[in-house]
Structure 1
Amino acid sequence: MIKCMLLQADKTCLYGAEELIETWNQDPKSFLWIDMDSHDPAQERELMQTMGCHPLAIKDAQRERHPPKIELFKKYIFMLYRGIYQPQDDLLFEHLQISMFVGTNILITSHAKKSMSIDNLFSAEGEQYLSKSPITLALRIFHFSCGIYLQKLFEFEEKLESIEDKFQLGGDDKMMQEITLYRSRLTKLKRTFSYHSNIGSELKILVTDDTDIINQAELHTVIDVHERIERLLTLSQMHYDICSDLINGYLSITSHQLNETMRVLTVITAIFIPLGFLAGLYGMNFEYIPELKISHGYFYLLGFMGIIATALILLFKKKKWL
């Protein structure tokens, strides 16, 4: 589906489909936003070529999966980032690849499914941003997507604090499995935010370059978007570190408990080794064993074994092994 928003020179805004492209061609002072949602790839490619988009950028835009990037062409700034189709709880996102071609008076967006940020801004609010410049609108779409990520990270922060409190009372394998799952998801988010951070840095460089598409007037918006991306990257790193600390803490506690158990078992074994030796020695079936005919030898041996066991227990307690 193709939908268009045309902001004319007299600030009148029209909504429609491909027919608005011809109206835009007749008015060089107007701004046009073309949004392609789940459109036929061949027709989409043909339209992009008609609008002067670079073939290599079109190829990247239509790939099913491509790392986020930004490139400057003669007529357009090409941005490719991971938006959100549908956010869920527990840091589970259904990502959506969004490509944007930003010109001096046109913005072309393309995505395989509905985008929350684009649907939200294809309205009067989007008209206000488009009236400033297409790059302002593109940055605000990007900014809105980052806001969804940020909201979900704040919600997860509260849950992570609750997990930390429960962990202090005593962790278990189920909790460990949950924390490990969160750490894995945070790793993927960190990778995405790192790509986005590079886009923000490149945008700041483009502001200072000699191009009509983006200039010093957009510097504040660029900085705002970049700071939000950096905050996302910082938060995801912080949450990742907390999850890692919880995992390492659980493993350390488990290892300590295992060492304690092994120490007790070792002490018990050490006590019974001499006792077992004496029992085995006098349990041999030889007729002429020394001390075998002593009338109270049985009780003497038991007493001697008791003394050995008591002495070993006192020795281990003195060394704080018990």
Structure 2
Amino acid sequence: MIRTLMINGNGQASIGGEELVHDWRNDASSRLWLDLTSEGLEQHQTERQVLLGLGCHALAIEDAQRDRHPPKLEVFDDHVFILYRGIARFDSQLHHKSQSISFFISERLLITYHPLPAESINRLMAGHGGIHLQRCPPQLALRIMHTSAGMYLDHVLAFEDQLSDLEDALHDQGTDALMRQLMGYRSRLVKLRRIFNYHQSITDELKSSDLALFDQPDLGLDHTLNDLHDRFERLASLVSMFYDICGDLIDGYLAVTSHQLNNTMRVLTVITAIFIPLGFLAGLYGMNFEYIPELKFHNGYFILLGTMATLAVGLLAWFRKLRWL
């Protein structure tokens, strides 16, 4: 599916389909945003021809049409290619489905290519996309990524409340179910941290490079780029912090569980240590021999019980002195 937004030389905005490409070609002062949503593998060749016809490099198109590819920045003679990891689905539990959004950016043209609907693109297409496009296509591309990063940030901040509640529940009464939940969070945070680190490296590269497309301080691109970089940096730091918190909670739960197990084993060890000598005496005088000297003692039974009681009480007192009880 192809959607287009064109700003002509008079600053008038038009929204339509592929027919606006012809108008854009005939108006050298116009700017065009073409949003292309992939319709599946069977349409890849058709989409490839559309992108080639608009001057996109063949290698960049191959990267854009791959199912999985890490975010990247690549510079060609007449345009810049940015592969961004956008949002297809996200919630406060960090369950997310990401998708690659490809940006082909030139002086008069911005092409966005993605396999699934993208909320950040839909917002700008229906909102202030024309204002940013009128300034320049790189500004619009940065604003799309900025909007997407804001959506990421909203969900990550919402997760902070979930993590706080989980921390309280774990301290009150830790369970294996809470541990499994923490492990799941930690796994998702690793994936998000990898994505945000990629994005941060893209903005680092854009800031440090001398690309003419993005080196337009009179249009305020430097401020937009710095804002985008700060947002990615905050996302990366938040995700890393939450990852560390999850790790600390897991380690704390394991330490408490190990301490409880040690206490249980200590009690069982004390009980065993008390009953071993008592069992020895009972076994000794329970042997079936006719001649055992003590068997003829008139008060032998009571003496043996007294000895066993003394041993038990003495061991208990000793263990309490050693702070084992």
TM-score, length of structure 1 as denominator length: 0.97
Q: Partner of 1:219 in structure 2?
A: 222
Structure 2 CA distance, aligned partners of 1:250 and 1:199?
38
Is 1:144 aligned with 2:165? Answer: no
Cα deviation for residue 47 of structure 1 reads 1.2
Q: Shift in Å at residue 168 of structure 1? A: 2.0
Alignment-mate amino acid for residue 113 of structure 1: L
Structure 2 residue aligned with 1:48, among 43, 46, 51? 51
- Give the corresponding residue for 2:279: 276
**1:93 matched to 2:87:** no
Distance 2:178 2:127 in 1: 46
* CA shift for structure 1 position 123: 2.8
Q: Secondary structure at the match of 2:295?
A: coil
Q: Distance in 2 between matches of 1:184 and 1:290?
A: 71
Higher mean displacement: 247-256 or 118-127: 118-127
What is residue 13 of structure 1 aligned with on the other side?
13
Partner of 1:38: 38
Correspondences of 1:58-69 after superposition (within 5 Å): 58-69=61-72
1:294 aligns with 2:297: yes
Structure 1 residue 294: deviation in Å?
0.3
Q: For residues 293 and 139 of structure 2, what CA distance do their matches in structure 1 show?
A: 102
Structure-2 residue corresponding to 1:199: 202
- TM-score (ref. length: structure 2): 0.96
Amino-acid identity (%):
50
* Unpaired runs of at least 5, structure 1: none
Q: Secondary structure at the match of 1:33?
A: strand
3-state SS, counterpart of residue 56 of structure 2:
coil
Paired residues of 1:84 and 1:93 also in contact (CA < 8 A): yes
Once the 2 structures are TM-superposed, how far is the Cα of residue 264 of structure 1 from its aligned partner?
0.5
Deviations 1:195-221 (A, max 9, x none): 111111111123xx1x33211421111
- Does the 8 Å contact 1:104/1:212 carry over to 2? no
CA RMSD of aligned residues (A): 1.1
Code of the aligned partner of 1:144 = T
Q: Once the two structures are superposed, what CA deviation does each residue of 1:14-43 show, in whole Å capped at 9, x if it has no partner?
A: 111122112111222211111101342111
Number of equivalent positions: 319
- Matches of 2:18 and 2:205 in 1, distance apart? 32
Rounded to whole Å, the distance in 2 between the matches of 1:133 and 1:26 is 18
1:189 equivalent to 2:192? Answer yes
Q: CA deviation at 1:86?
A: 2.4
2:30, 2:319 → 1: CA distance?
Answer: 89
| Whole-angstrom CA distance in 1 between matches of 2:306 and 2:272 | 19
Cα distance between partner residues in 2 of 1:205 and 1:31: 26
Q: After superposition, what is the alpha-carbon deviation per residue over 1:116-162, rounded to whole angstroms, capped at 9, x for unaligned? A: 00010013400011011100000000011111110001111011111
SS state of the match for residue 320, structure 1? Answer: coil
1:112-123 residue pairs with structure 2 within 5 A?
A: 112-123=115-126
Q: Which runs of 5+ in 2 are unaligned?
A: none
What amino acid sits opposite 2:18 in the alignment? Answer: E
Once residues 277 and 99 of structure 2 are traced to their aligned partners in structure 1, the CA distance between those partners, rounded to angstroms, is: 71
Task: String of CA shifts for 1:178-237, please: whole Å, max 9, x gaps.
Answer: 11111111111111111111111111123xx1x332114211111100100010001111
Check conservation: 1:86, 1:116, Cα contact below 8 A: no
